[in-house]
């Protein structure tokens, strides 16, 4: 069976748009309605366990440190993120999630896990390996394109 490139493109575009719309909609219906989807992705980039510098998070999000600083200031005010001095070097400031930040991180992570489970439902291991390879190819293309 030959791939239908137009159909694959349509599915990718629609899936991307649907994910953003659903994430935004779910945020607005939740106790976290004060967050934008961009702020949610910033929280996701900071992560749960490892404290990161502003430069590390900005690089991960492909934005400037200045742009990230503005977002972090808002997230600190909203009590999702905290700035922490490094134990090794007091001049270094690391970013971490507050209790509220960790909670929304887990809620968001749960949505993503449900989405992945839904995608893999009914696939055998060969199909799921092929899907993973396709997504890795897409990721590599997008990284090179940047």
pLDDT (0 to 100) of residue 26: 87
Looking at residue 95, its pLDDT comes to: 96
Q: Are 43 and 108 in contact (CB under 8 A)?
A: yes
> Has residue 146 got a pLDDT over 80?
no
Nearest CA to 39 among 10, 65, 71? Answer: 71
Architecture of domain 35-145: Orthogonal Bundle (1.10)
Q: What is the largest CA-CA distance in the chain?
A: 60
What confidence tens digit (pLDDT) does each residue in 26-75 have? 888 889 999 999 999 999 999 998 899 999 999 999 999 999 999 999 99
Residue partners of 120: CB distance under 8 A and separation at least 6:
128, 131
pLDDT of 145 above 90: no
Q: What is the pLDDT of residues 3-20, one digit of tens each?
A: 789 999 999 999 999 998
Residue 94: φ, ψ to 5°: -110, 155
Which of the pair, 144 or 45, is modelled with greater confidence? 45
Interacting residues of 146 by C-beta distance below 8 A, sequence separation 6+: 62
Please report the pLDDT score of residue 107 as a whole number: 93
Query: For residue 36, what pLDDT is reported?
Result: 92
Task: Give pLDDT tens digits for 65-108.
Answer: 999 999 999 999 999 999 998 777 778 889 999 999 999 999 99
Domain ranges of the chain: 35-145
Distances (CA, A) of 46 to 27, 30, 59, 89, 109: 18, 21, 11, 20, 13
**Can you tell me the distance from the alpha carbon of 134 to that of 92, in angstroms, rounded to the nearest whole number?**
39
What is the C-alpha separation between 95 and 53, in angstroms, rounded? 6
């Amino acid at each position: 069976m030959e791939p239908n490139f137009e159909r694959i493109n349509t599915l990718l575009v629609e899936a991307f748009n649907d994910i953003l719309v659903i994430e935004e909609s779910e945020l607005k219906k939740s106790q976290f309605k004060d967050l934008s989807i961009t702020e949610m992705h910033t929280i996701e980039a900071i992560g749960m366990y490892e404290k990161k510098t502003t430069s590390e998070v900005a690089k991960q999000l492909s934005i400037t440190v200045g742009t990230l600083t503005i977002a972090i200031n808002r997230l600190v005010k909203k009590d999702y993120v905290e700035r922490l001095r490094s134990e090794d070097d007091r001049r270094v400031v690391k970013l971490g999630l507050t209790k509220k930040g960790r909670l929304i991180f887990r809620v968001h992570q749960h949505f993503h896990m449900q989405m992945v489970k839904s995608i893999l439902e009914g696939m055998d291991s060969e199909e799921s390996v092929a899907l993973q390879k396709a997504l890795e190819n897409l990721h590599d293309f997008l990284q090179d394109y940047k």
